[in-house]
Structure 1
C-alpha cells in the first residue's frame, strides 16, 4: 500500500499473494495429525460430550482456568512415580526433549503455541499422571490411603469422561516412552493391557477376557477404537449397495429373533437363519461421550475406517420408537436405560452430520432384508401388524376364528343331519 496525495493505492496482487500464502500455511495439516479440535458441525449436538469436566490432558485445554484445580493431583502422581525409581524428573524431561517432542507436536492438527520446553513439561506431567493412574488402577498396593482419585468417586467418573475426549489426548508414543522408562520388573502388564483394563467396561458390563496385540496406536481414543474393531470381527461385511433395515418391531413381526451376542466387541453383529445376534451395550454416563468422540475421530482422521459410525447408523435403523427400545431391552441387548424416549432420541441423533464412505454392515442389512422379503416372513409381518398388534386385536381375531370354526361345525352338522334324514326316507 502506498499514499500519493489524497489517494491511497493498494497493492491488490501483493495482498492476494500474502493472504493466499497465509491461508496455505494455516491449512497445512501434517499427515501424522490425529488429535483434532472438534468441528462445530459435530460438536453442536452436545458440546458437553467434547468438553473436559475436571482434567486437561495435552496442550489444547491446558490454560482453561476451570481445569486448574486438579493440577496439584497430577504433580503428586508425578512425585509418587519418581519416588519409586532411580530416574529423576530431569532425566524424563531430557528423554522427551528433541526428536520425541517434534514427533508429538505433529500429532496435533492445531498449531501448538507453546515453546518446546513448555510443551515437554505438559507432556511429562500429563503423561506420567495417565500411566500412574493405569498402574494404580491395576496394582492396588501402589495407591496411597489419601489418594483423591480412588477415595472420591466423582474423580474417577471425571477421568472416564475426560480421558476419552479427542481434544484431550496425549500421543501414545509419549505414554509408551514414559511407561517403558518407569517400568518395574514386578509389574508385568503392558501399557496396552493396562489401558484396556481401565476402560474395559466402557461399553460392556463384562470386562474383556482377551486382549489382542494392536499396532500403531495414536492415543487413548484410537486405542478404544482399535480394540473394538479388532476384538472379534472376523471379516468386513461391507457392501457397495445396501438398503435400510426395518426397525426392531418390523423385524420381530417378520419372525426375526433378537439374541444377545457373546462377543466382547459391540461391533460384532451377526445374522444367520432368522437370528440377529447383537452383543449387549451398557448405557452409562460416559456412553454418549465415548461414541461421539470415537465417531468424531473417524470423521476427522483420514486413515480411519468408519466402524463406529456404521454401528451408530445400524442401531438407528433398529430404533424408531420406544417399542423398538423395549424389544432390545427385553432381549438384554441394551442395558440400564430407564427412559425409553431418551434412548430413541440418543440413537437417532448420534451420527448426525457425519459422512460414511463405506457402510460396514451393508451385507448384513441386505441379508436381513432378503430374509424379510421371503413370502412367509412377509405374510407373517402383515398378520402380526394388522391382526395381532394389540391384546384386543388378538382377542378379536381369536374370537372371529372360533366363531368361524363353530359356524363351520354347525353347517357340517346340519348337512350331515339332512343327508341322514334323506337316507332314512
Structure 2
C-alpha cells in the first residue's frame, strides 16, 4: 500500500538550486534552475505559444465544481457494474429527474405526468408562480444532489422538477387515499397493472431520482399537512410499506434522501445493531452451506423480518426467509450500487450479499436452503438462483475487514474446522439419521458386543485348560 500523508503535512514544490543530471538506465533527465527555466522560455519566444494557449483554454473551459460531497446523493451507475445487467438500472416505463429526461422509449408516460400535474394544480388551487419561485430559489441545491453537471437551462430544469415532483405527489396521494386499484382503473390506458408494477420498480432506480427535500418543499407549500401524512416522506413510506408488505424499521425514515435510499432502508435492522465490529481476521472466506451442513451446522429460518439479521448460536445458523422473484434483481442491484457510491463504509446490504455468495455456490447449496424453508425460489431452477446470487457481487468493491459479518464468518469457519463437529455429524448422518439406520446400528452393535463376549469367554476357557 502507498504511504499516506497526514492532514497537517504540506507538500511543497521543490526547485533545484543547482543544475544536476539524474541517470536512470539509459535515460538522462536534467533538473534546471529557475533562472535557466526563464532563459529557456525567453529563448524559445513564441515557438509554442499556440500550444500553450490551447492548453490554457482547455483548462479554463472546465466548469467549476458545483457538487458538494455532503449534498450529492444521486449517481450514475459505474460502467463496470452496469454491464452486468443493463436492464436492472434502466427505467422501463417512466423517467424521474434529469438523467433519463427526453428518452424516446419513455415518452408515452410524459402524457400521464402532465395529466397528473394538471390534476395537482386543480386540486390545490394554488398560485403556480409561488411554486416556481420556490424551486428557482433552491435550484442550485437540487443540482448539487446529482453527481454530474445537468446540461438543462435554468427554466427547463425548474420545469422538469415541477412536473416530475407534482406528478409524484399527486400519484402517491391518489394511491394512498383512493387505493391502487382506483388509480389504475382511472388511468387504465397508460397505467395498466403491469405498468404500475414496472413504475414502482423504476422509482427505486438510483439514476431515476428526485431528492426528497425538493418534494417536501412542494408538498409543504401546496398540501395542508394532517395527522396521517404530515410530510411527503410519510406519504412515500406508507406506499412503500404497502408495496413491500413490510413495515419500515423505526428511526430510519429521517435518513432517506430519495426513493432508492428509502428502498435500502427496508433492508436495514431497526436498531442498527448490525455488527460493525472490527475483526483483523476479516470476512474473505467462508465454507458453503453444503460444507457447513456436512460438518454439522444446522440451518433454520430466522424469525426476524430483516434479511440482514443472521444469527449463529449453538451450532445453528438462523437466516431470515429470502424471497427471490424476477423483480428482485432490480431492487438488489440498485441498493448495492447506491451503497457503493454513497455508503462505502456502511454497506450493510452489500456485506449481506457477499455472505450469501459465499454460502451459495452451487445448486446443491440452493436445494439445501430451499428444503430448510430459507429460500423461496421464484426464479425457476436452483441453478438460476445460484447464478443470480453469485453475479450480484461481481465488480463490487468489498472490504472483508470492514464487513458487518466478520464475527459470523469467524465462528462458522471455526465450527467447520473443528474435527469433533465433523466426526459427530458424520456419525449422526451415517448411523443415526433414520429409524432404520438406528435399528441396524443398534443391532450391529449388539452383535459386535456378543461376538466380543464370546471371544473373551473362549480365550478364558483355553487359558484354564
TM-score of the two chains, using structure 1 as the length reference = 0.84
Could you tell me which residue of structure 2 aligns to residue 315 of structure 1? 356
> Structure 2: which 5+ runs fail to align?
1-46
Could you tell me which residue of structure 2 aligns to residue 5 of structure 1? none
Could you tell me which residue of structure 1 aligns to residue 40 of structure 2? none
Could you tell me which residue of structure 1 aligns to residue 134 of structure 2? 95
Change (3 A) 1:229 1:150: farther
Change (3 A) 1:185 1:167: closer
Residue by residue, what CA displacement relative to the aligned partner does 1:126-166 show, whole Å, maximum 9, x if unpaired? 11222222222222269455233997211222112211111
Change (3 A) 1:356 1:201: farther
Matches within 5 A, 1:325-340: 325-337=366-378, 338-340=380-382
Q: Distance in 2 between matches of 1:196 and 1:409?
A: 72
Shift of 1:91: 3.0
Range with greater deviation from structure 2 (329-338 or 317-326): 329-338
From 153, 173, 179, the equivalent of 2:193 is 153
Matches within 5 A, 1:24-35: 25=63, 29-31=67-69, 32-35=71-74
Matched, 1:379 2:418: no
Query: Are the counterparts in 1 of residues 274 and 404 from structure 2 also a CA contact under 8 Å?
Result: no
From 294, 313, 326, the equivalent of 1:285 is 326
Secondary structure of the residue aligned to 1:169 is coil
From 64, 67, 75, the equivalent of 2:106 is 67
Could you tell me which residue of structure 2 aligns to residue 121 of structure 1? 159
Could you tell me which residue of structure 1 aligns to residue 397 of structure 2? 355
Q: Distance in 2 between matches of 1:326 and 1:286?
A: 21
Query: Are the counterparts in 1 of residues 91 and 202 from structure 2 also a CA contact under 8 Å?
Result: yes
Shift of 1:49: 0.4
> Structure 1: which 5+ runs fail to align?
1-7
Change (3 A) 1:61 1:129: same
Could you tell me which residue of structure 2 aligns to residue 207 of structure 1? 246
Q: How many residues align?
A: 410
Range with greater deviation from structure 2 (298-307 or 14-23): 14-23
Q: Distance in 1 between matches of 2:276 and 2:116?
A: 45
Residue by residue, what CA displacement relative to the aligned partner does 1:367-401 show, whole Å, maximum 9, x if unpaired? 2223333442232356579x58x99xx99999688
Residue by residue, what CA displacement relative to the aligned partner does 1:319-344 show, whole Å, maximum 9, x if unpaired? 01112112222233222333110110
**Comparing both chains, which one has the higher relative contact order based on Cα–Cα distances under 8 Å and sequence gaps of 6 or more?**
1
Query: Are the counterparts in 1 of residues 73 and 147 from structure 2 also a CA contact under 8 Å?
Result: yes
From 347, 363, 383, the equivalent of 1:341 is 383
From 220, 227, 251, the equivalent of 1:180 is 220
From 188, 201, 218, the equivalent of 2:257 is 218
Matches within 5 A, 1:159-308: 159-184=199-224, 188-189=228-229, 190-200=231-241, 206-208=245-247, 211-240=250-279, 241-243=281-283, 244-301=285-342, 305-308=346-349
Query: Are the counterparts in 2 of residues 169 and 219 from structure 1 also a CA contact under 8 Å?
Result: yes
Shift of 1:214: 3.1
Change (3 A) 1:363 1:292: same
Q: Distance in 2 between matches of 1:201 and 1:281?
A: 18
Shift of 1:281: 2.2
Q: Distance in 1 between matches of 2:419 and 2:298?
A: 17
Q: Distance in 2 between matches of 1:303 and 1:176?
A: 27
From 66, 70, 78, the equivalent of 1:39 is 78
Q: Distance in 2 between matches of 1:154 and 1:15?
A: 54
Larger radius of gyration: 2
Q: Distance in 2 between matches of 1:201 and 1:324?
A: 32
Range with greater deviation from structure 2 (400-409 or 161-170): 400-409
Range with greater deviation from structure 2 (251-260 or 143-152): 143-152
Change (3 A) 1:382 1:51: same
TM-score of the two chains, using structure 2 as the length reference = 0.77
